[in-house]
Structure 1
Amino acid sequence: MAPAARRNRIAIATAVLAIALVIGVVISAAIGQFPVAVTEVLGSLLNRVGLHTSWAPVEELKDQALWQIRFPRIAMAVLVGAALAIAGCVMQAIFGNPLAEPGVVGVSSGAALGAAFAIALGVTFAGAAGVAVFAFAGGVAATLLVYVTARANGRTEVVTLLLTGIAINAFAGAGLALMIFMADTASREQIIFWQLGSLNGSRWSEVAVVALLGTAAAVVAFASARRYDLLALGERTAAHLGVRVERLRVVSIVVVAVLTGAAVAYVGIIAFVGLVVPHALRMIMGPGHRALLPASALGGAVLLVFADVIARTAVTGAELPIGLITSLIGGPFFFYLLRRTRTSQGGWA
């Protein structure tokens, strides 16, 4: 594809994602058990930034519902979706594998085990944030354990990293089963619900924590975009071109741990966002990470915002776990990737 045509395709794809995100945010704010008109949503937003219009909600209750319940939830969906998609894009870059995603190195399972531990044992550290603290710590600890195990002779062996991640996931699964066995009925239900993921009850204080950690890690990922492009040429070639491959891989694993740990700490496990979004956009936009990383952030936000709308409205009077929605989308897509990879390679090596 010619460079000009590729730039046009990237620009169009980015614009479509941005427009879709705006539409998704407005729809998500308007739809719910307490319906709010689209003009009222826009008016409330404009009033908060000092642009007073006649569109603002007439009833104070609507304004409170928007700013205390729906907008924090939407902001959390945007941040978590973007963080998971960026983490997936980074994973695929450092492993050179379109099937890589954050769960591969045990971040998600480690976070789930940390959260289950806090719930089952009634940990009250840091008040209501205790579960989130343990979830984040569990995710980071699992990642560091995988990395330390896979590092040998001054370098990280990718195959060993992946195999260790599988082992950590298996161990965390056993630990989760033990926590569920030890927990009482209420805690057991909370653990299972946390594993399925939910944006319900998101608060501005939680949004601020995820935004702070996610933004810091995303900045590091964006700054590494050019080196990811060089790494795609092969480790030796990248090293000859000045890339410190081992350092890049270490930093990237830490970035993935922070992004994923922050994302799942408050909302639970949300599967397949890190797999589906960056790979789908790579097929549309090409492999250049300077465009792919920010587009993945937009795509992840769009996916999770619309998934949350479906989760809240698909069943009358009830809310589906958002992890269920993303798995229903990601499962078939993962199967498609497996078939496509096998066909293109003429069978498995």
Structure 2
Amino acid sequence: MKLRVFGVFSSLCFISIFVGARQIDWTLLLALNEQAWLPVTASRLPRLVALILTGAGLAMSGVILQHIVRNRFVEPGTTGGLDAAKLGILVSMVFLPSSDKLDRMFFAVIFCFAASLIYIAIIRKIKFSNTALLPVIGLMFGGMLSAFAEFYAYQNNMLQSMQGWLIGDFSKVVEGHYEIIFLIFPITLLTYFFAHRFTLMGMGEDMAASLGINYTVTAALGLVLVAITVAVTVVTVGAIHFVGLVVPNIVALRYGDNLQKTLPIVALGGASLLIFCDIISRLVLFPFEVPIGLTASGIGGVMFLALIIKRSRA
């Protein structure tokens, strides 16, 4: 099964490199022609790397949040994390007009982490009999943050700047303008290193404590990893929904919840889904391009609806 997932991932990577408005001549590539290789090295390879890291990071963020909250319907987009990151970027641009991507990322991490703590505090305070209400609360919380962010942007004449973070878009990812996204790579390694603890945490606070896991520290660590991943993603390519929701659910259905075994599949699945959505984005209105945030929401929404229907029938 893992080989099949890797085969799909490899095929999508190959297709991604050779799909675009500018056709690539194989003969010139094999002849090592500098002009033929320029669009590959300057644009398409960086774009592919950004897609892989973003997809893997968002999928693993979804897994972490689902184990912390113990609910299959949460991800950064349904806990207010994405909206909080956008608000943090806006605040950094107002108070630090000359801020660079690292400064904006720092603010986004702080706001995303704080929003996650508030969300968890809310759902722990209110005892829900229906677990489906947890993502609903998150969507309401995120909607409030998004409304506040838009009002804040309107007050400071920054609505136009904010549009770049509302919908994910990889069209501007080129060499020299995306490297901050490499921060997701050590985050994925740390997530895998602590996979066993996250798995035990998903069994509940009492069970985790009885097995020697400090629940509070592990949860805080998970939220920090999620906050950094979300912040880097929003700063670099904008907000992307459903990847952290669909992929972990599909993997859990087929392979279970042991994160030490399933995290590599989750990462490959997230990267594969995002690359597939990007290919569709580049082909649906060829030679023009649809923002990947739209295609990811459309395809991810359909996949998640199919999962819900399948579970309800089962």
Give TM class, smaller chain.
0.7 to 0.9
Q: Secondary structure at the match of 1:157?
A: helix
| Deviation for aligned residue 1:260 | 1.5
- Structure 2 counterpart of 1:84, from 40, 58, 61: 58
Whole-angstrom CA distance in 2 between matches of 1:197 and 1:71:
18
| Contact 1:112–1:135 (CA under 8 A) maintained in structure 2 | no
**Would you say the 8 A contact 2:81–2:227 is kept in 1?**
yes
Q: Does the C-alpha gap of structure 1 residues 293 and 319 become closer, same or farther in structure 2, counting only changes over 3 Å?
A: same
Q: 1:81 to 1:56 in 2, by over 3 A?
A: farther
Q: Which residues in structure 2 correspond to 1:40-189 (within 5 Å)?
A: 55-58=30-33, 60-116=34-90, 124-127=97-100, 129=101, 133-134=103-104, 137-147=107-117, 150=120, 157=124, 165-166=138-139, 168-179=141-152, 181-182=154-155, 188-189=159-160
Match of 2:9 in 1: 21
What code does the residue aligned with 1:209 have?
Answer: I
Q: CA deviation at 1:222?
A: 0.9
Distance 1:163 1:324 in 2: 21
Structure 1 unaligned blocks of 5 or more:
1-11, 44-54, 345-349
2:195 alignment partner AA: A
| CA distance in 1 between partners of 2:266 and 2:126 (Å) | 26
8 Å CA contact 2:56, 2:266 repeated in 1: yes
Equivalent residue for 1:285? 255
User: Which stretches in structure 2 are left out of the alignment for 5+ residues?
Assistant: 128-133
Residues 113 and 135 in structure 1, CA contact (< 8 A), matched pair in contact too: no
Q: What does the per-residue CA deviation read over 1:191-245, in whole Å, with 9 as the maximum and x for residues that have no partner? A: 334311101121344443221x212222221122112332343322221111111
Which protein, 1 or 2, shows the higher relative CO under an 8 Å CA cutoff with sep ≥ 6?
2
Please show how residues 244-283 of structure 1 align to structure 2 within 5 Å. Answer: 244-283=214-253
Instruction: Give me the TM-score of the superposition, normalised by structure 2.
Output: 0.85
Aligned equivalent of 1:301: 271
2:131 aligned residue: none
In 1, distance between residues paired with 2:211 and 2:92? 47
Q: Deviations over 1:274-309 (max 9, x none)?
A: 001111111111211112111111111111112111
Secondary structure, counterpart of 1:125 in structure 2: coil
Residue 196 (structure 1) aligns with = 167
Higher Cα Rg: structure 1 or 2?
1
* 2:203 paired residue among 222, 225, 233: 233
- What is the one-letter code of the residue matched to 2:234? V
- Normalised by the length of structure 1, the TM-score is 0.77
Identity of aligned residues (%): 26
Root-mean-square deviation (CA, aligned residues, Å) is: 3.0
- Cα distance change of structure 1 residues 181 and 141 upon mapping to structure 2, 3 Å threshold: closer
